[in-house]
Structure 1
């Protein structure tokens, strides 16, 4: 990612995975602490919300046969932010169109 840039590096990876059955393991520790505070080992400089959301949406185009989400620590979470993000990303990885922000906007109208 650092050498090629975010988009090109992921594009190359997803081309190699196209058509193959894949298992997705989403490690929430890989997401920046500002977006995912409720993890065992918080990461400064990890994926931000837009990056991880893009990855999840691209994963949904692949042949996902299994998925796990790891490193959620509810006792460290801030108002369930990380847990809610994990749900959103799981839905997106599996092809659903769910957005916490969109749900929030519905409650405000």
Structure 2
């Protein structure tokens, strides 16, 4: 046991026993965490541990992955039909003159 110095209400120094710190018997190095490659999305693998630790139901729901409560199955649609065609600006002679002028004056710089 180690003694810690304390003062009582009269200002007199007293001693109080403190337990010694436990020896680290772990085989892991303190830097192991930083050496491992991070891999996200693993919480679900440990859902049983969360439940054993009595995590709140809301947390279990979040970790398990929330699912949308549909009243009925949504209709199947072809995704390609809902994607708009690429937006293309038609060529303009006036715009070309303005852009060329800005390039010559150094207002804009050609990047490609």
Q: TM-score, normalised by structure 2?
A: 0.21
**Larger Rg belongs to:** 2
Q: TM-score, normalised by structure 1?
A: 0.21
Which structure shows the higher helix fraction? 1
Greater length-normalized contact order (CA 8 Å, ≥ 6 residues apart): 1
